Amino acid sequence: MNKRFFFSTLLLLTSASVFAEFKALPDKAPVPKDNPMTPEKIELGKMLYFDPRLSMDGTISCNSCHNVMFHGGDGRPVGAGIHGQRGGRGSPTVWNSAFYSVQFWDGRAVTLEDQAKGPLVNGVEMGMSSHDLVIERVRQIPGYISAFKKVFPKEKNPLTIDNVAKAIASYERTLITPNSPFDKFIKGNKKSLNPQQIRGMKLVDSIGCTSCHAGENFSGEGFALGEGNFQPFPQIPGSKFDKMYDLTSDLGRYEVTKNPEDKNKWRVPTWRNVAISAPYFHNGKVKTLDEAVRVMGKTQLDMDLNDAQVADIVAFLNSLTGEFPKQTMPLLPHTPNFSITPDP
């Protein structure tokens, strides 16, 4: 019998307990005590998430850059905002973002609620000059006034930026993609992964990838809310990839903390759905997953992975594509007889 086939078959039949360091994605995200989820709040958050009127020129919504009809990003190297402006970093996927302990590439926001407030007043993204202006805009839409009163009935003034963020975050916590082939394997279905994917799973563990990409979201494990799993990228500078893909000009976490030790440190991104969320890395410079694997092998582990190793790892990463709950476009509340969208 072919030794490689025998070994792969043996792995396939091995108990999931061998892979105790790997965890299936939960069906539900953790919910903070100060923002309980209700169907009405989720629906309100969904409307706000899709509403471009929350941007200065009425052209950009949360969904513009974090498209839930897609893989949760926008497929561009870097995000695009009002007036066609381009940011300096790619748009991280919103799918499974509820499992992070910090938000944004540089971890400058702790919770989904914190994150939701940021793009609204970012001059390159949605471009509003202040959160007060956001609320003034929303207050002109009668349907939102009634919706906020229904969702936050105990508050005298329910239409606040904090409640806008709470509603959006509640919707985002429904964006979970469980039941990938990998998850099914971990839960006991030994036929859900093929031998190559199992080789890849063993390989990422044995060479050290899972020292950073651990836990149910493959983005780090054991980090309390606000701590964040921040790692240098590149861990081992000086390879050809630094210049080829401009890996070091953006200083990452340092731009937030101004701590020299944080230069070129980034929040470790999830591997969930990574096979369908190209391009890769904070600047979107790498277009293919196999090249991203080679870059990570060299810059983080000082390894020149061969073609067979890359193929096995890519096969495993493909097994992390989960089931996407069906999304429907919300009907946004109207402004009868007038427009609130400003002139360009």
Q: What is the CA radius of gyration of the chain?
A: 22
Residue 165: CB partners within 8 Å, gap ≥ 6? 112, 113, 114, 116, 117
Angle between helices 3-13 and 195-206 (to 10 degrees): 80
155 is catalytic: no
Q: Bridge partners of 265?
A: 232, 252
How far, CA to CA in Å, does 32 sit from each of 35, 44, 148, 263? 5, 18, 19, 31
User: Which position among 21, 40, 43, 125 bears the catalytic label?
Assistant: 125
How far, CA to CA in Å, does 172 sit from each of 122, 228, 322? 20, 19, 16
Q: Helix %, strand %, coil % for the chain, to 5?
A: 40, 5, 55
**Residue 161, both tokens:** 């930026």
Residue 175, classed as helix, strand or coil, is coil
**Chain position carrying tokens 């799973």:** 201
Instruction: Region of 252 please: left (phi>0), alpha (psi -120 to 50) or beta.
Output: left
The H or E element that residue 232 is part of is strand 230-232
Distance CA(278)–CA(273), nearest Å, equals: 10
127, 57 Cβ separation under 8 angstroms: yes
Residue 136: CB partners within 8 Å, gap ≥ 6? none
Distance CA(141)–CA(338), nearest Å, equals: 10
Q: Kindly list the catalytic residues.
A: 125
